[in-house]
Structure 1
Amino acid sequence: MKPNSEQRHDERVAVALPVHMDKMTGVTRDVSASGICFDIDAGYAAGSEVNFVIEVATFNEKMLLKCRGHVVRSEQHDGKVSVAVQIAESVMESA
């Protein structure tokens, strides 16, 4: 069995999208239907509830994916902190 394979239920897609959280801006590393990993300037404790917004560009307009979730892990990575979040709720809105 691969490490953490029991925790990953959905296919992950590597993509770099802007993330806004607590007056900071970060960049996604990968996303799936149920989770996300992004790099940002501050770490968050595992189990913390967080709210964040992901900017998604479409052909016609910019959309905002507003999310609420729980931090699964937070670790130092290349001068930033990689935060993995299990998404509990999300809604897509026009910017």
Structure 2
Amino acid sequence: MFEEQRIDPRERLALPLTLGDGSSAVTRDISATGLFFEIDGEHAMQGPVDFELELPEVSMRFTSSGVIVRLERRDGKTGVAVRLIDPRLEYVDPGG
């Protein structure tokens, strides 16, 4: 039987995500300590990953590094579970 390992509750949330290499992905869920995103295609991701979420409706940007803890491949997509390292939420001046 599978035992839940998560400490923090997850929120299902689909937001556009930009990876450090410029690739685009979409979040599936987010918690205080991690997130899960999906990227088109089959990817052999490993090691640390950097990413950014723009939240223009509240003039905020969320950036973080993360450690990949799990990969899932299905339906032509790669799902990536990440434990957050050094998450930052910062104000973005909407005027530029």
Which stretch of structure 1 is more off in the superposition, 22-31 or 35-44?
35-44
RMSD of the alignment, in Å? Answer: 1.7
Q: TM-score, normalised by structure 2?
A: 0.81
Task: Tell me if 1:82 matches 2:79.
Answer: yes
- Tell me, in whole angstroms, the C-alpha distance in 2 between the residues paired with 1:92 and 1:38: 18
Task: Give the C-alpha shift of residue 64 in structure 1.
Answer: 1.2
Task: Give the C-alpha shift of residue 43 in structure 1.
Answer: 3.8
Q: 1:92 to 1:72 in 2, by over 3 A?
A: same
The number of equivalent residue pairs is 89
Q: TM-score, normalised by structure 1?
A: 0.82
Amino acid at match of 1:9: I
- Tell me, in whole angstroms, the C-alpha distance in 2 between the residues paired with 1:37 and 1:86: 9
Q: 1:71 to 1:4 in 2, by over 3 A?
A: farther
Q: Give aligned-pair identity as a percent.
A: 37
Higher Rg: 2
User: Which residue is 2:11 aligned to?
Assistant: 13
Moved over 6 A (4+): none
Residue-by-residue CA offset, 1:26-58 (whole Å, 9 max, x unaligned): 10000000010000133412xx11111112243
- Structure 2 alignment gaps of length 5 or more: none
Amino acid at match of 1:44: M
- Structure 1 alignment gaps of length 5 or more: none
The alignment partner of 1:92 has SS state of: strand
User: Which residue is 2:23 aligned to?
Assistant: 24
